[in-house]
Structure 1
Amino acid sequence: MDCEVVIVGGGPVGLFLAAELGQRGISVEVFDAKPGTSTHPAANANSARTMEHFRRIGISAAVRSLGLPCDYAPDVAYFTSIAGHELARLNQPSSQAAVEWAKAHAFTWATPEPPHRCSQLYVEPVLLEAARRHANCRVHFSSKVLDFTQNAEGVTATVEMDAMVDRAAQTRTVTARYLIGCDGPRSFVRKSLGLSYAGVAGEKREFMGGQMDAVYFYAPDIYRVCPHAPAWQYWTFGAKQRALVIAVDGEGHFIMNVQTREGESLDEADVTQRIAEAIGADIPFEVKSSSRWTAGFALVAEKFSVGRVFLAGDSAHLFTPTGGLGYNTGIEDAANLAWKLEAMVKGVAGDALGASYEAERRPAALRNTSFARGFADSIGNVHLPAVAHEAGASGDAARAAVGDYLKFHATAEFVIPGVHLGTRYETSPLLVAEAGAATPDTANLYVPCARPGHRAPHVWLADGSSLYDRFGPGFTLLCIAEADVDIESHGAVRNAAAMLPGLTVVRVAEAAVADLYQAAFVLIRPDQHVAWRGSVLGDEFVAAVLRTLGHRPGETALLPTQACPSAA
């Protein structure tokens, strides 16, 4: 084998997966047809869950330092035009204040890593550096996968390497144990597997439903002509058009999304006019690049894997970007898949582990596309009355009424800890669901829950540190109750450590942790989801270890162990 995993696509999902696999000692080669990382802004919001995963691989601080200036509040604001009337605003903490803000708001944002507003433009180079930090991880740009085949032993890909204008490309054959398609909505990998998307396509709305143009431009004078505080997102409701203008660096670079009307095709003069209308003032600006995309999709692939080939990110699901869920769902795909690939490569996985990826992540994709679709309906179908563009008392009243709704909507779309932190895998084949009802899965409320399948609840410990920083990079056995028990030398734990890659035993005897986890022992997966919890390290724990690795009952057995007494 040339490597253990081939990744097709070097966008944020592919690079994150490569970085995590590299950290786990898995050899990886990434191939992307682009000449390098993105040069056009996209994916401008990193969810709390994405930032938690970045924390796990050691890059969250670097990412949080990028994007807007550290004291720039990434507010979401709504206007008739940027230089015109402000209709509503959702205030958000600056990056330098975000973590302390999250500590103060731990009752809603129970995370060490609150959301961070930063474009993929800046995140991708950090991910690339994180991947290349590992000698076993090689990333190739200007390299296109032309074909691949698979059998019971592995995957063989044909790659056109270093395809440059000034020289002929070279063709290379690469063999690996597994191949992952992270190659976007037009995925060559998905199409080669004969898989299709299913769901809602081409949904029409007044905005965020149809053909969209994304224009990257430089206009520092916006901050001079806007009579209101700076924002991260400027949603404009003009008399002739609607637009979403996003501040990329807080120093004059913006990305504007406008929806083209039926049968319309924007030329350079049209784009210039659209930008001027959104700003609402005559100022100079420089168009740097543009791209075209389509809103109105809520699509999920019919399958997420075939044999040794898996799909992640946009190749597996396609979102309308309201709520910023597409890229962030892809990062969660990669986090879910990485530890499973490690177990499969290292030979400790049972037959069910590979299939569990689809069983866990496809329902999560359906959940998140549904949330995104609801957000798009909420903002995309809003109509401003004509009087809202007029001066005087009638115009003021109309703008105030619209503003009331937009304040409600802004909270509904952007204050979504439940979406970020509430993904759960209660129906996973890797666990036994607990009796009783789970906590509600709602967008705007996250209720911490340590039931198997849920994200392990976060706690700020008494010394001010994060419980997450006590977890190991592999599996973690969290021992909560105080007990005079030599956990590491217990038979069940020794045998578990032989199977679970990188098992770390962590003792935390704090009331806040005990109250949340409601168990003496908790087995936590590398992606920070609970695999099992209980009061005794006995047969049930042994069975949970095997099940978590995809072993069916009777398929594999650990050495006999004596039960550990209750630590309560």
Structure 2
Amino acid sequence: MTDQRVPVLIAGGGTVGLAAAVFLSGCGVQTLVVETQRGPSPHPRATGISRRTMEMLRAEGLEAAVDAVSIDMVAGLGKVYARTLAETDFTAPNPAAAAAARLDETSPALVRGTCPQHRLDSVLLPAARERGAVVRHSTRLESFTQNDSGVHAVLSDGSVVHADYLIAADGARSEVRGALDIAVSGPGPLGTPMISMLFRADLTPYTGGRTFATCTIDNPEVAGLLVTVDGANEWILHVPSDDSGEGFTAAHCTALIRAAVGDSTVEVEVVSVLPWRPRGQLAEQFRAGRVFLVGDAAHTVPPLGAFGLNTGVADAHNLAWKIAAVIHGWAGTGLLASYEDERRPVAATTLEQAVLRLPDPRLHWETSPEIVAARQEAGVLNAPVVHAGYRYESSAVIGSNPELPSTEDISLVLDGTPGSRLPHRWVHHHEGRMSTLDLVGRELTVLTADDGWAQAAREVAHALSIPLSVHRIALVDTDWTGSVGIHADGAVLVRPDHVIAWRMIDRPTDPRAAMIDALGEVLSLERAENRFAGRIRGR
């Protein structure tokens, strides 16, 4: 038996666990990821990646790599309906194209299509390892205990790991959550049990080279959902099944696939068959001491809307910088309480929004005035608002306002309110034209057009030994001050997860004192703030 010391142990090497490793390793925190499977799953689960998720990956320098493995949907059809694939009208325009173009104005991130989960993993796994994370497959977290000094875990190979923190990314049936006796609430199983068939077949003779995200198939032989994996040779067909999922032999699956395609002679290779069922559940706690739940371990969201995977990645992004700040000593341990305070309400809203869409999926996909009115009547938020319009209320945000100014227009929601994502604006910088989001690194960031604020922020950061970047943005270059709701002599403090922690509309008499108070509150540095305040104010 060997002993190993690591700052963060991650149970679960799926997409969210790997994302957590990437984010933590990028912050200079060593991680060990243990995954029970022998290797990355070849079976895609989710396929939709949001612009908000891409913003997080962009910050890690992974946007181009993810784009390279994504399936181009710029000229695609999105969601289509047909009797068979062979009878689908591929000449129709994509009604979502205009909405996607408008989204470009609110984000610098490029999402040109879908990115099946196994393809995203093919980027995250090497990225995590290149940054120093250790990922061990065929390894199970057998048991763990925790105390004031850390987490002590026993792995399936007999080794013992001593970690400061444990992140549970081990899925909807999380053994870590079960060991902590954390209950779940929510609707539970939803709808009919399903079978997911991953198969290979050349379907380009039927698509003519055009792409689609999903095609709902309905004919006397099969009713199901055909999903694009690579747009040419890899596909998934979802069909209803009974609870056992038995009887889906290779021959039976091939017959169903051919019926969905509309060609009884098409050559089909069935790669894998997985039973699944939509589920909606929410953990009563996202944290127990030094253990944190992320992704499906914390919340399981029905697939309609592509919210589940993206919400899980956002969990990891929110948590990583906080753990790093505490480990590196520039934040108090009280900062960690803000993880559950912020992410659990977001997950609850996301779950609610996914369930509200189930009776009428058009509420998610379509953009007509009639559907917009129907969304408002049903209490359904437009998808971009769900993905990026949430607002945090916690000790790590000063002056949050949870009320959304719009349920439809994400550009109105991202208005600079503390607790919301920093609005995207293109600004001139000494390194060239950059997005405001690109100015935010792995430390705190102050954005201002005012010399007084810039000088005060640098002095305070130096005195408190807090990593903080200051960017003075020239007013002639952009309307960014109006976008974040401040005047020319105001400032905003932005967290590493792109969230505005605090803003001052104008410059007060003593900006250094205001900055000290803000940093002390956001980072839970009550004692440190008091210790250094006198020294700075006495200058």
Report the TM-score when normalising by structure 2: 0.86
Paired residues of 1:492 and 1:561 also in contact (CA < 8 A): no
Paired residues of 2:213 and 2:227 also in contact (CA < 8 A): yes
Is 1:491 matched up with 2:459? yes
Offset of 1:375 from its aligned partner? 2.2
2:76 corresponds to which of 56, 73, 76? 73
2:155 corresponds to which of 142, 159, 164? 159
For the structure 1 residues 414 and 256, does the alpha-carbon distance in structure 2 shift closer, same or farther, using more than 3 Å as the test? farther
Is 1:14 matched up with 2:17? yes
User: Which stretch of structure 1 is more off in the superposition, 42-51 or 223-232?
Assistant: 223-232
Paired residues of 1:260 and 1:266 also in contact (CA < 8 A): no
For the structure 1 residues 111 and 377, does the alpha-carbon distance in structure 2 shift closer, same or farther, using more than 3 Å as the test? farther
Please state whether the residue corresponding to 1:361 is helix, strand or coil: helix
Paired residues of 1:181 and 1:311 also in contact (CA < 8 A): yes
Paired residues of 1:79 and 1:235 also in contact (CA < 8 A): yes
Residues 52-98 of structure 1 show CA distances to partners (whole Å, capped at 9, x for unaligned) of 000011111100111325876363222222122549764566xxxx9
For the structure 1 residues 561 and 24, does the alpha-carbon distance in structure 2 shift closer, same or farther, using more than 3 Å as the test? same
* Match runs of 1:61-100 below 5 Å: 61-68=64-71, 73=76, 75-86=78-89, 90-91=94-95
Paired residues of 1:47 and 1:115 also in contact (CA < 8 A): no
Paired residues of 1:183 and 1:189 also in contact (CA < 8 A): yes
Offset of 1:257 from its aligned partner? 1.2
Residue 53 of structure 1 is matched in structure 2 by 56
Residue 345 of structure 1 is matched in structure 2 by 327
Is 1:527 matched up with 2:497? yes
* Match runs of 1:380-419 below 5 Å: 408=371, 416-419=383-386
Residue 418 of structure 2 is matched in structure 1 by 452
Distance 2:520 2:498 in 1: 18
Paired residues of 1:223 and 1:230 also in contact (CA < 8 A): no
* Match runs of 1:59-458 below 5 Å: 59-68=62-71, 73=76, 75-86=78-89, 90-91=94-95, 105-106=102-103, 109-114=106-111, 116-135=113-132, 137-160=133-156, 170-203=157-190, 209-220=191-202, 222-226=203-207, 229-239=210-220, 241-261=222-242, 265-268=246-249, 269-282=251-264, 283-295=266-278, 297-379=279-361, 408=371, 416-425=383-392, 427-433=393-399, 438-442=404-408, 447-458=413-424
AA matched with 2:462: R
For the structure 1 residues 200 and 406, does the alpha-carbon distance in structure 2 shift closer, same or farther, using more than 3 Å as the test? farther
Distance 1:182 1:263 in 2: 26
For the structure 1 residues 275 and 106, does the alpha-carbon distance in structure 2 shift closer, same or farther, using more than 3 Å as the test? closer
Residue 447 of structure 2 is matched in structure 1 by 478
Please state whether the residue corresponding to 1:201 is helix, strand or coil: strand
Offset of 1:370 from its aligned partner? 1.2
Paired residues of 1:245 and 1:256 also in contact (CA < 8 A): yes
Is 1:547 matched up with 2:521? yes
Distance 1:435 1:121 in 2: 37
For the structure 1 residues 548 and 267, does the alpha-carbon distance in structure 2 shift closer, same or farther, using more than 3 Å as the test? same
For the structure 1 residues 561 and 237, does the alpha-carbon distance in structure 2 shift closer, same or farther, using more than 3 Å as the test? farther
For the structure 1 residues 344 and 434, does the alpha-carbon distance in structure 2 shift closer, same or farther, using more than 3 Å as the test? closer
Paired residues of 1:487 and 1:493 also in contact (CA < 8 A): no
For the structure 1 residues 197 and 241, does the alpha-carbon distance in structure 2 shift closer, same or farther, using more than 3 Å as the test? farther
2:6 corresponds to which of 3, 6, 10? 3
Offset of 1:437 from its aligned partner? 5.0
For the structure 1 residues 294 and 460, does the alpha-carbon distance in structure 2 shift closer, same or farther, using more than 3 Å as the test? same
For the structure 1 residues 484 and 337, does the alpha-carbon distance in structure 2 shift closer, same or farther, using more than 3 Å as the test? closer
Paired residues of 1:471 and 1:506 also in contact (CA < 8 A): no
Offset of 1:218 from its aligned partner? 1.2
Paired residues of 1:108 and 1:446 also in contact (CA < 8 A): no
Paired residues of 2:453 and 2:491 also in contact (CA < 8 A): no
Distance 1:406 1:299 in 2: 32
Offset of 1:465 from its aligned partner? 2.9
Distance 2:397 2:382 in 1: 31
> What runs of 5+ residues in structure 2 fail to find an aligned partner?
none
Distance 2:452 2:336 in 1: 38
Please state whether the residue corresponding to 1:558 is helix, strand or coil: helix
Please state whether the residue corresponding to 2:427 is helix, strand or coil: coil
AA matched with 2:137: F
> What runs of 5+ residues in structure 1 fail to find an aligned partner?
161-169, 204-208, 383-402
Residues 31-66 of structure 1 show CA distances to partners (whole Å, capped at 9, x for unaligned) of 001111121112111111110000011111100111
Residue 466 of structure 1 is matched in structure 2 by 435
Is 1:513 matched up with 2:451? no
For the structure 1 residues 327 and 29, does the alpha-carbon distance in structure 2 shift closer, same or farther, using more than 3 Å as the test? same
For the structure 1 residues 488 and 540, does the alpha-carbon distance in structure 2 shift closer, same or farther, using more than 3 Å as the test? closer
Paired residues of 2:106 and 2:424 also in contact (CA < 8 A): no
AA matched with 1:513: W
Please state whether the residue corresponding to 1:310 is helix, strand or coil: strand
Residue 390 of structure 1 is matched in structure 2 by none
Q: Matched residue pairs, number? A: 514
Offset of 1:408 from its aligned partner? 5.0
Distance 1:380 1:158 in 2: 48
Paired residues of 2:167 and 2:292 also in contact (CA < 8 A): yes
Please state whether the residue corresponding to 1:210 is helix, strand or coil: coil
Please state whether the residue corresponding to 2:81 is helix, strand or coil: strand
Please state whether the residue corresponding to 1:487 is helix, strand or coil: helix
For the structure 1 residues 84 and 444, does the alpha-carbon distance in structure 2 shift closer, same or farther, using more than 3 Å as the test? farther
AA matched with 2:518: A
AA matched with 2:420: H
Offset of 1:431 from its aligned partner? 2.4
Q: RMSD between aligned alpha carbons?
A: 3.3
Distance 1:262 1:194 in 2: 27
AA matched with 1:544: A
